[in-house]
Amino acid sequence: MRRPFIAGNWKMNTTRAEASALAEAIAAAGPGAGADVAVCVPFPHLADVERALQHSRVRLGAQDVYWEESGAFTGEVSVPMLADYCSLVVIGHSERRQYFGETDETVLRKLKAVLASSLDPIVCIGESLEQRKANQTGEVLARQVANGLAGVDLSERITVAYEPIWAIGTGETATPEIAQETCAFVRAELKKHAGDAADAIRIQYGGSVNADNARELLSQPDIDGALVGGASLKAAQFLQIVEAAKP
């Protein structure tokens, strides 16, 4: 039985004060009884949000990481640096792939560095609208799984977020049927590499998840949670999505 996992991705949003207030509002509601809950926040807010969440069950994560431990890599943040603050990190988000040159190869390097640490990864995959229209969704996802997660020990420490790019931040959600069918496909691809261990890997759906559509999406058998962008910036909305995840 896979425990539902709802993670908020705050992206490049919130001032310092807003970040603390949002984390405090989420923590005050005491979520985490029926589902794992996390917030992935901008680097500068990690320390403040860690403090705000310290007596809660809400896990703290970052949104990216570099694979080298230290050195002349201006602007980058390493795994050991993050591990002092949080327990989770997003890797390969489509916005990193689209705007910052992330590839399956860099995803794999980051994933290996993260798995060698105490951090747990959320690895994002997903197809563009052009690829879906051209019936290339399966091919793209199979490649992202094969290349981005190749040769690592695929265990329940890894969460995979299936996020169709056309549904991220657009208000356009995959229908529950499409999301389920695609997440089941992703699990079958994971099984090719991990065998039955893939049954323990949680697959989140991401793409305009909100309080209205969460319950139906999260009730699908191969959708084990959600990676939530826009709707994670409002405590009440985010908490309703967490509520909807309870079995």
In a 13 Å sphere around the CA of 64, the CA atoms on its Cβ side amount to: 19
Catalytic site residue 55?
Answer: no
Is the sign of the CA dihedral 33, 88, 124, 159 positive or negative? negative
Q: Which of 55-84 are b and which e, b meaning 16 or more Cβ less than 10 Å from the residue's Cβ?
A: ebebbbbbbbbbbeeeeeeeeebbbebbbe
| Single-letter code of the amino acid located at 160 | V
Q: How far is the CB of 228 from ligand PEP (least distance, A)?
A: 5
Q: Which of 209-242 are b and which e, b meaning 16 or more Cβ less than 10 Å from the residue's Cβ?
A: bbbebbebbbebebbbbbbbbbbbbebebbbbbb
Q: How far is the CB of 11 from ligand PEP (least distance, A)?
A: 6
Catalytic site residue 163?
Answer: yes
Q: How far is the CB of 195 from ligand PEP (least distance, A)?
A: 28
- Mapping DSSP to helix (H, G, I), strand (E, B) and coil, where does residue 188 land? helix
For residues 186 and 138, the answer to whether their CB atoms sit within 8 Å is no
For residues 121 and 86, the answer to whether their CB atoms sit within 8 Å is no
Task: Give φ, ψ of 209 to 5 degrees.
Answer: -70, 135
CA distances to 19, 50, 81, 161 from 86, in Å: 15, 7, 9, 19
Residue of 95, 127, 163, 189 with catalytic role? 163
Q: How far is the CB of 40 from ligand PEP (least distance, A)?
A: 9
Task: Give φ, ψ of 91 to 5 degrees.
Answer: -130, 135
Residues that bind ligand PEP in the complex, under the rule CB under 6 A: 9, 11, 163, 168-169, 206-209, 227-231
What CA–CA distance (Å, rounded) separates 147 from 162? Answer: 15
Residue of 93, 102, 127, 189 with catalytic role? 93
Catalytic residues: 93, 163
